[in-house]
Amino acid sequence: MNTNETILGWRDCYAENGKPVKCWKCGCTEQREEVRSMVDVLYGQGPVCEYEVFCAKCGTGIGYWAYGSFDSRYMRDMMANVQGQRGDDGLIVGDSAAP
């Protein structure tokens, strides 16, 4: 991330139930899912227990679903790992480690 990039307000990027609506980094609404865990029946085709959601455009992790609901801690943990400065509204506005 360079210093000119602004991370979107994460509150606008998620539905009330925690489902990602758009990427918090680039605003893209296209998503891809990667299965992290499933019940191993029917030759690996069993029900999905956990999956992670990524932005289809930039590849940023934007959500984690497990056992029936989205993990509300996922976004908090992701934002804590992003280096940057926080503005008055709590949004990250730049990367202090950028060249």
Domain boundaries, the chain: 10-81
**Comparing 9 with 63, which gets the higher pLDDT?**
63
CA-closest candidate to residue 55, choices 78, 80, 22 = 22
**Alpha helical stretches, state H, the chain:** 72-81
Predicted pLDDT at 46? 80
pLDDT one-digit tens code per residue, 35-92? 998 888 767 678 889 999 999 999 999 999 999 999 877 777 776 766 454 444 444 4
Predicted pLDDT at 76? 72
Predicted TM-score (pTM) of the model is 0.68
Predicted pLDDT at 40? 80
